[in-house]
Structure 1
Amino acid sequence: MLRRPAPASTASLLALLALLGLVLSLAGTLFAAPAAAAGPTTEDDEADYVIVAGAAGLRWDDIDADRTPNLWKLAERGSIGSLSTRSAHSPTCPADGWLTLGAGNYAERTGVGEEPADGVTEPDPDAPQLCQKLDVAIERPDAVGAYLPDQAAVVEHQRELPFGAVPGALAQSVRCTAAVGPGAAVAAARSYGRVDRYHPTLAAVPDAKKAFSECLLTIVDLGAIDGRTPAQRLRQAAAVDKQLGQLLAARPKNSTLLVAGVADTEASSRLHAVIADGKGWEGGYLTSATTGRAGYLQLVDLAPTALHLLGRDAPKRIMVGHPAVLADGRPADLDQATAAGTDADRRAAAARTVSVSFFWLLALVQIGLFTAVVPLLRRSYRHAGPTGPTPPSQRLVSLLEVLLTGASLALPAALIAGVVPWWRFGRRGLIFGLVTAGITLLLTFVTVRLPVYRKRTLGPVGVVAAIAAAVVGIDLITGARLQLNGVAGYSALEGNRYAGIGIVGMGVFFAGVLLTAGTLAQLVPQRNRPLLVGAIGAAGVLLVGIPALGADAGGAVALTAGVCLAAALCPGGWLTFKRLALAMLAGLAATVVFALVDVRQPVDQQGSLGRFLTQLSDGTSGPTLSRLGDANRIALVTSPLTVLALVSGVFLWVVLMRPWGGLKRLYGIYPPIRAAVAGIGLASIVGGLLGGAALNVAGAAAATAIPVLTLGAMRVLGHAADRTRIAEESPGAGPMSETIPAEQPPAPAAVSDDTPEAVSGP
């Protein structure tokens, strides 16, 4: 005698709500990221003088003990890092870098009141493309300071940009600023163009020791490294080092020196060297709350660092960076430490070049698979009448199943490819493609050889989802090393993220977590499904939201919304008002908890959600909203993942949701899968909008989920004429009940809270 499965009770959803509350409370206790060892913070440790010395184009591969002894000795005893020179202009040419340094915010000066440099209009195609050289008009109305006549135009230009930069914010935060060289004049000029103390070159300073003691803050232009050949770069690096030697000879006591490659000199962005030397900066890596990654600093962090060293607070409404702090992990051998900086620069540059081709190729391959599977779906559909289309051959079906499985595993494989240092070799794009293809084949082989893959209709969905969630989850737990500067991760060159979960990783993780939850929920009694989905989803929310792991409060809120929707839908049947209300209550509670925890953190430890709420409360959220809108618009029209998201949505709706598409039958037999897909759609769209990525998160989620969902639809169509024996509900009963051949197709059974589910499997 058959026993009806008990309907999903309100108690299960209330238990889900309680579970989410418990998990979010735990997240609150863990939300603050482990603090790095701070730099000088007491009055005794503050510097009497701060000198910022910049050299456009300076990278770690320009520094060694023989050619640049002064830079080498400074790096040996000081703290070091890799500097991202992001500005409002891409690439950050010298004029933009110096202006961004003085503003403490993303600024742009290229093309404002300047003429293009000679010899750049027709570059040699075999040589690296160069940035426009710094060419700024400097007037000397007296023998003390200087005046920049085009500063008014530069200030006005910043108002047209969404960043809210104020040129001269650093100089206006101290009483007196000295500048040596034209680049330093750009950084030290106040908003009305005045430079307090100015010398054209170090050689022109009559009494350097006295000159460096006249103002608390001194900015020095050491020159630029923009050689087209390695030999030219070596000579220019040596010249910069010689200039630094003169500076060190005149450096006042109890001063802190910051040396940085303040800009790019090529048309492609690179990571640059940054060194801090002074009391409290002995050894270690540099980092900041802006990057959250040991060994990485942003150009906008230098101005707040200088003010912090002088015991002054940075103007929060104007400067977006944070003071530098020390972090552990630097190798004792400086050769090893500088090699790591050089390797990070090469990897970031290579990944940026390869990523566009990879994602377009992935989109084209998946679109081709979707096109090829349409006739097979139509031929697999069994009509209820006595005749129907000839079913496709089993070999063709098996081949397409393997290809669809591999397509879903391509993004996890691209993340794993970061284990192999492909960027260190020639023809890096080809090597990355071969490594990724090999890992994809290996993951696909392991997946198809598993018994659950062959014997269970949902086997491919569950295995692929578990692999996707595990790859991203393990990477987050181990420090997100695969995503940093990875092709399927995020680039330190872009300056948007340096740690935690990235846009592509977020889409893969959302799809993996929710499909895994949906597959496992099908194995438990109906009344327990919301609790299981909530438990798995809560673990995913923690991984995404905790700063020491995923470091994305907005992504955690988005995943919470998807988990709550999936939990409400997973029992099957109609989505009742009570279930919807409880799901919305759980999502609202999660959002409030994350918002309150984040906004109560110190300003330099807040995540994106907390910073936005703080800006909203003090009326400075306009630039953030403008930047978010611009980022979403750019991502929407330029990314191949947007194309993949749109094509996947059309394929899902126009093909898979047709009677012959198989997805409706899959949803009817396995309601938790329908719930998971709805949750993925909601989470990925919300996560993309909150992260300024438009449909990129949805595209990554679709690339992971849609191929295996298509595979599942093919399998249920292949068994559409089988009669199913409905098993009595028990703790061990699952969706893969025994199938019995039937002389005629059974009548379709409606699935609701009060009726047993029809189950089918190969």
Structure 2
Amino acid sequence: MTRRALLRLAGLLAILSAVVLPATVRTAAATSATSAPAPAAVTRAPVAAGNEPLAAPDTNDPNPVILVGTGGLTWSDVDAKATPALWSMLRDGSTAALSVRSVFTNTCPIDGWLSLSAGDRAAAAGPGKGGDRSTRDPCPAVPTVDSGVVPGWSRYVQAADAKRFGSKPGTLGETLASNEQCVQAVGPGAGVGAAYVSGAVPRYAAYDASQLTGELSRCRVTLVDVGSLRDPADLPPGEPAATASLSGSGGTGSGGTGSGTSGAGAGSRAEQAGVIDKRISEVLQAAPSGSDVIVASLSDAGSSERLRLVAAKGPHYGSGTLDSKSTKQPGLVQSADLTVTLLHAAAVPVPTGLGGAPLYRGSADDNSESAARDRLRGLIDFDEASHEVHALVPPFFNGVVYTQIAIYLFAAVVWRRDFGSTDLRLRLLRIVRRVAIVAATVPASTFLANLIPWWRFPVPMLAIIASVGLFVAILSAIAFLGPWGRRLTGPLAAVSLATLLVLGIDIMFGGRLQISSLMGLQPVVGGRFYGMGNVTFALFATSAILLCIAVSGYYVKRGQPRRAALAVLVVGLAAVVIDGSPAWGADGGGPPALLPGLAYLVLAILGIRMTWRRGALIGAVTVGLFLLVGFVDSLRPTEDQSHLGRFFESLFNGGAWDIVVRKLEQNISILFGNYRLALLVPIALVFVIYILARPTSWGSRALERSYEACPTLRPGLIALLVMLTIGFAINDSGVAIPANGAIIAVPLIIAVSVRVLEDEARAGATTRAKRRG
């Protein structure tokens, strides 16, 4: 075992001791943990086509790597005739959609270059409170290097420190310099990207096409700013349409010192793209033979956030997709990968804590024109799906919230015994039950909808509604029409199992359905690209517990509590493994929330009373398993690690506190900012606690009868409440967990309770009819 692994194991044992051993041992363990040195820097291995690692680059290899940075371009701007240089990169190189999300909602050109410099999220401060910036604020200027220094550099460093992402502008340049590798910067943005932590840029030149040949041969790593496209139709108010221009061919423009950015000059979107493409062509012609050239659009074109383009061509990149292990999504990478790729190409150790991984050629393809068009269609699909769904998410969740509230109110009315005649009440109860079950099929249907390319239709909103509706109809038919549809918990089991299978299988096969889905991961936001996000976990874990209720209730009613407990363990632990496995769900906050709920349900089924001591033991075991999985994940190569392994490392390199504080701030922001989603949490809790749980309430009578019909329903609901509460407390954006859990749980609980009332009303009507007869 390596020294790095031994240090982590010692730290893990110290933390576990602090959780489960007596106080005297805890003190000694905590001392040893704090005295352990930080892990050494990690060198990441490059990867070639077919995901096979290449040999580490020879430090004496003269072949350079050139990053051509631009901004605002998407793959829809690329055309064989209008942008021939970009088309050649598409045809002959490796390509991907690029997530450029930095600190703020939209990424300005200065943000893109600062993020490249830091290897993580960084941005210039805005005019708002705490340096915040809105999409309506003009982009800060990209400064031009003056006397070998980036003007205002200290402000960029302060802005990065204030946002607690752990990013340090200057990481790229400083790491190269400390390993005796130089970096040449050409153009203002490149100067920002190549700066040292002090803001110094020893090798800088203005963009001049006639001088490129010499400048591209001076250092192992070269950054070139060819200007950023600023869409006149999407500019924030107050930003002039005419941006400061880099020079065209043969000129020596200063660029980027005006009110906007290092731009491609005034003009339409297509005209600016043509200017940028011409500069890219100049760089390709001047690049030394054998160079790896990476073209990356580092920023947005205005107020709108979108996926951008990245392409690489050279000895390490042939025709095909460009992949990264940081996203685990073929053809989708993030801007942090670019920094790691440059450091790796220079054969220098990559500092720990950077959020990216080296770019590599994934699936190979031929370089024919027809193959290039097919790849372009796929790349545009990635961007359009992400862009279209992002705008639809807020109205979708608003509709879900209002629909849920309507179901609650309708149920509250028909639950009353004195409401209408028996026939009318039966019809209304049947309607409520069916509507509730249909509503519970919506979450799984939003993922299945991505099996249909709805974003290609003329009206994407109508297309996605129709796609979701199609799968709602299919899942509802399964819930109603099978033999289980006539049983009390049959539809609950069917919908829960369907949701569990859809989400679980999708996660195990890479999470393709949840990317750019209404309730899945949004690559344009860049928070997660794989595994279980908070929304997915809430739906998955809630479905797992509901399925456990249905299955265990079946066995308990037949006097088989041990089989019921075993069934809960099988279903629950399978869900925990899928959620927590670094290769699948990679969810750090999920298992600590799900395991205690499952443990409570198992103990309740076996008739074992929960005590403080047993609760503390369950908590200790849960924390221990979380740390153990994090430790094992941290032993994997850095580019293969998930969020679990990186967080475990942060416990020892000093970054854990910043992560915790940042996630807490996000939770508070969502709780008080997204008021409609947050509104669903107290309403659902009031509905469950006041209407259903109070012994004297009219709603509780229905639930009490449901408890009798399904004996594990009460402990199951308590287990669900435990899971949702812990999930809310320990996860960033944790308010999304109970809110989205309620989306599927409350309608299905209502359906069970209404079915009990429906059976009673039908039996009462039959009895009265016999009496009259």
Superposed pair shares fold, TM > 0.5: yes
Distance 1:463 1:679 in 2: 20
Distance 2:613 2:215 in 1: 74
> What is the CA-CA distance between 1:110 and the residue it aligns to?
5.4
Q: 1:390/1:574 Cα in 2 relative to 1: closer, same or farther (>3 Å)?
A: farther
Q: Does 1:517 align with 2:548?
A: yes
Aligned partner of 2:654 among 616, 619, 623: 619
User: What's 1:568 paired with?
Assistant: 603
Q: Which amino acid aligns with 2:650?
A: Q
Aligned partner of 2:204 among 173, 198, 203: 198
Q: Which amino acid aligns with 1:450?
A: G
Maintained 8 Å contact 1:722/1:742: no
Q: Does 1:81 align with 2:96?
A: yes
Report SS of the residue matched to 1:158: helix
- Which residues of 2 match residues 643-722 of structure 1 at below 5 A? 643-659=679-695, 660-661=698-699, 662-718=702-758
Maintained 8 Å contact 1:555/1:690: no
User: What's 1:109 paired with?
Assistant: 124
Is 709-718 or 407-416 further displaced after alignment?
709-718
Aligned partner of 1:468 among 474, 487, 499: 499
User: What's 1:31 paired with?
Assistant: none
Distance 1:452 1:278 in 2: 59
Distance 1:76 1:438 in 2: 37
Distance 1:448 1:173 in 2: 62
Distance 1:163 1:589 in 2: 26
Maintained 8 Å contact 2:386/2:523: yes
CA RMSD of superposed structures (Å): 3.2
Q: Does 1:504 align with 2:540?
A: no
Instruction: Render the CA deviation track for 1:378-418: whole Å, top value 9, x for unaligned.
Output: 3289xxxxxx9978621111111111111111211222222
Distance 2:57 2:206 in 1: 35
Q: Which amino acid aligns with 1:657?
A: A
> What is the CA-CA distance between 1:239 and the residue it aligns to?
1.5
Maintained 8 Å contact 1:55/1:225: yes
Asked which structure has the greater RCO (Cα within 8 Å, sep 6+), the reply is: 1
Aligned partner of 1:155 among 154, 157, 161: 157
User: What's 1:494 paired with?
Assistant: 525
Maintained 8 Å contact 1:507/1:700: yes
Is 574-583 or 271-280 further displaced after alignment?
574-583
Q: Which amino acid aligns with 1:607?
A: S
Q: 1:79/1:561 Cα in 2 relative to 1: closer, same or farther (>3 Å)?
A: farther
User: What's 2:168 paired with?
Assistant: 166
Q: Does 1:227 align with 2:236?
A: no
Aligned partner of 1:394 among 410, 426, 445: 426
> What is the CA-CA distance between 1:573 and the residue it aligns to?
7.4
Distance 2:760 2:217 in 1: 85
Report SS of the residue matched to 2:589: helix
Instruction: Render the CA deviation track for 1:679-725: whole Å, top value 9, x for unaligned.
Output: 333333434554412121222211111111112122334556999xx
Is 471-480 or 402-411 further displaced after alignment?
471-480
- Which residues of 2 match residues 218-617 of structure 1 at below 5 A? 218-228=222-232, 232-317=268-353, 319-328=354-363, 333-379=371-417, 393-454=425-486, 456-524=487-555, 525-571=560-606, 574-575=609-610, 587=622, 590-617=625-652
> What is the CA-CA distance between 1:150 and the residue it aligns to?
1.3
Is 585-594 or 504-513 further displaced after alignment?
585-594
Q: 1:181/1:279 Cα in 2 relative to 1: closer, same or farther (>3 Å)?
A: same
Q: Which amino acid aligns with 2:295?
A: V
Aligned residues: 668
User: What's 1:629 paired with?
Assistant: 664
Q: 1:275/1:297 Cα in 2 relative to 1: closer, same or farther (>3 Å)?
A: same
Q: Which amino acid aligns with 2:158?
A: E
Maintained 8 Å contact 1:479/1:499: yes
Report SS of the residue matched to 2:361: strand
Distance 1:330 1:134 in 2: 40
User: What's 2:85 paired with?
Assistant: 70
Distance 2:570 2:472 in 1: 30
Q: Which amino acid aligns with 1:700?
A: N
Distance 2:767 2:602 in 1: 34
Distance 1:181 1:571 in 2: 70
Distance 1:111 1:239 in 2: 29
Distance 1:655 1:178 in 2: 68
Maintained 8 Å contact 2:166/2:655: no
Instruction: Render the CA deviation track for 1:496-531: whole Å, top value 9, x for unaligned.
Output: 111223322221211211111221112221122211
Q: 1:742/1:42 Cα in 2 relative to 1: closer, same or farther (>3 Å)?
A: farther
Q: Which amino acid aligns with 1:238?
A: G
Distance 1:346 1:717 in 2: 47
Q: Which amino acid aligns with 1:169?
A: T
Q: Does 1:183 align with 2:189?
A: yes
> What is the CA-CA distance between 1:350 and the residue it aligns to?
0.8
Distance 1:39 1:106 in 2: 28
Q: 1:698/1:40 Cα in 2 relative to 1: closer, same or farther (>3 Å)?
A: farther
Q: 1:527/1:741 Cα in 2 relative to 1: closer, same or farther (>3 Å)?
A: farther
Q: 1:551/1:415 Cα in 2 relative to 1: closer, same or farther (>3 Å)?
A: same
Maintained 8 Å contact 1:96/1:109: yes
Maintained 8 Å contact 2:479/2:490: no
Instruction: Render the CA deviation track for 1:292-344: whole Å, top value 9, x for unaligned.
Output: 22212111121111010000112224x33222233237687121112111111
Maintained 8 Å contact 1:63/1:72: yes
> What is the CA-CA distance between 1:668 and the residue it aligns to?
4.5
Maintained 8 Å contact 2:70/2:226: yes
Q: 1:529/1:112 Cα in 2 relative to 1: closer, same or farther (>3 Å)?
A: same
Q: Which amino acid aligns with 2:571?
A: I
Is 457-466 or 473-482 further displaced after alignment?
473-482
Instruction: Render the CA deviation track for 1:710-752: whole Å, top value 9, x for unaligned.
Output: 12122334556999xxxxxxxxxxxxxxxx9899xxxxxxxxx
User: TM-score normalised to the size of structure 1?
Assistant: 0.81
Distance 1:139 1:82 in 2: 30
Distance 2:364 2:59 in 1: 26
Distance 1:658 1:305 in 2: 60
Report SS of the residue matched to 1:260: strand
Q: 1:225/1:581 Cα in 2 relative to 1: closer, same or farther (>3 Å)?
A: closer
Maintained 8 Å contact 1:102/1:303: yes
Q: Which amino acid aligns with 1:180?
A: V
Instruction: Render the CA deviation track for 1:234-292: whole Å, top value 9, x for unaligned.
Output: 22222212111211222123432211001001211111111122222223422323212
Q: Which amino acid aligns with 1:193?
A: G
Q: Could you tell me the percent identity over the aligned residues?
A: 29
- Which residues of 2 match residues 128-143 of structure 1 at below 5 A? 132=138, 135-138=141-144, 140-141=146-147
User: TM-score normalised to the size of structure 2?
Assistant: 0.80
Maintained 8 Å contact 1:483/1:501: no
Q: Which amino acid aligns with 1:459?
A: G
Distance 1:560 1:325 in 2: 38
